[in-house]
Amino acid sequence: MRRLLFPLTLPAAVLVLAGAELPETGPVPEAKPAQATAPSEATAKDSDASSPEQPDTASDKTAPPAEELPGIEAPEPELADLKTCEADLKRLGVVFERQEAIIGENGCGIVAPYSISEIAKDVTISPATSMRCPTALSLARWVSDVVMPATAAFHDDIHLSEIRHGSTYVCRRRNNAATGKMSEHSIGNAIDIMSFSFEGRDPIPVSPRAGDGTMEEAFQRAVRAGACLHFTTVLGPGSDSNHNDHLHLDIIERSSGYRLCQ
């Protein structure tokens, strides 16, 4: 996949996409500037670390002046890749809608963002999302291959019904820090999973559970470990203090295909 470095706008990518024929969801709309989407839950503190040696765990909530933010290398989607990705989402039962392009400052944005209402048949995801199609596809595969089989370990009358997240696209640095690298959330590569809801039993929120010896701990361990097969970064309770209440999942590309699973 080609990659495009854009510090402030996405004109080249948008021009490529705007005039092309796309599948049923229609052409990618003309890009319009957009403000960062605020996280919907209490957390937006991922480190989405790009280096296995030293994850970024700063927690300063002060937003830096826009002109001081470095750019970030954001992927430019190929038309064929979008068609293939959307077809794969449909096969997995995902209900989605392609949105207007998001252009933020300092390299933030998504050329072709996707809103996902159901991540699998009869499994909703909430609140509203904005993410790249490859992020949505990794999420759908994780739910299909890992989360739903883990749910099957409960009684037969228990079914996964909803996944709640804390944030998808947000234009910010890692952990909302005043300095350091931009977050994978800023280009639609990440999602923070807060809890799982079911028909037939109480929800399971993500929380520190080491040593509980419960089915809830077993479920959380299973879905977290399985996420490493579908995401290149998996951080959660025990990784650092910023991740005690959610699973941070992202698809950052690292050299030699390295995956950070903590």
What would the pLDDT profile of 13-41 be if each residue is shown by its tens digit? Answer: 433 333 334 444 444 444 444 444 444 44
- Residue environment code for 136-168, b if the CB has 16+ CB neighbours within 10 A, otherwise e: bbbbbbbbbebbbebbeebeeeebbebbbbbbb
What's the rounded Cα separation, in Å, for the pair 136 and 125? 11
Q: Please tell me the predicted confidence (pLDDT) of residue 74.
A: 59
Q: Please tell me the predicted confidence (pLDDT) of residue 48.
A: 53
What's the rounded Cα separation, in Å, for the pair 135 and 249? 9
Q: What are the respective helix, strand and coil percentages of the chain, to the nearest 5?
A: 25, 25, 50
User: Has residue 21 been placed in a domain?
Assistant: no
Q: Please tell me the predicted confidence (pLDDT) of residue 229.
A: 97
What's the rounded Cα separation, in Å, for the pair 97 and 55? 33
User: Has residue 78 been placed in a domain?
Assistant: no
Look at the block and give the residue holding tokens 């229609």. 26
What's the rounded Cα separation, in Å, for the pair 7 and 104? 9
Find the domain containing 189 and state its range. 35-71+91-98+108-261
Look at the block and give the residue holding tokens 């099957």. 152
What's the rounded Cα separation, in Å, for the pair 255 and 193? 26
- State the DSSP string of 214-249: SHHHHHHHHHHHHHTTT-SEEE-TTT-GGGTT-EEE
Hey, how many other C-beta atoms are within 10 angstroms of the C-beta on 174?
Answer: 26
Residues of the chain where predicted confidence (pLDDT) is lower than 50: 1-46, 50-70
Q: Which of 70, 139, 74, 63 is nearest to 102 (CA)?
A: 74
What's the rounded Cα separation, in Å, for the pair 67 and 65? 6
Q: Please tell me the predicted confidence (pLDDT) of residue 79.
A: 83
Q: Please tell me the predicted confidence (pLDDT) of residue 76.
A: 72
User: Has residue 29 been placed in a domain?
Assistant: no
Helix 215-227 with 133-142: angle, nearest 10 deg = 140
Q: Which of 153, 141, 136, 117 is nearest to 77 (CA)?
A: 136
Q: Are 16 and 86 in contact (CB under 8 A)?
A: no
User: Has residue 16 been placed in a domain?
Assistant: no
Q: Please tell me the predicted confidence (pLDDT) of residue 73.
A: 58
Q: Which of 38, 188, 35 is nearest to 116 (CA)?
A: 188
Q: Which of 50, 33, 61, 43 is nearest to 183 (CA)?
A: 50
User: Has residue 28 been placed in a domain?
Assistant: no
User: Has residue 76 been placed in a domain?
Assistant: no
Q: Please tell me the predicted confidence (pLDDT) of residue 188.
A: 96
Look at the block and give the residue holding tokens 């879905």. 223
User: Has residue 5 been placed in a domain?
Assistant: no
- Which tokens belong to 72? 């970030």
User: Has residue 222 been placed in a domain?
Assistant: yes
The number of folded domains in the chain is 1
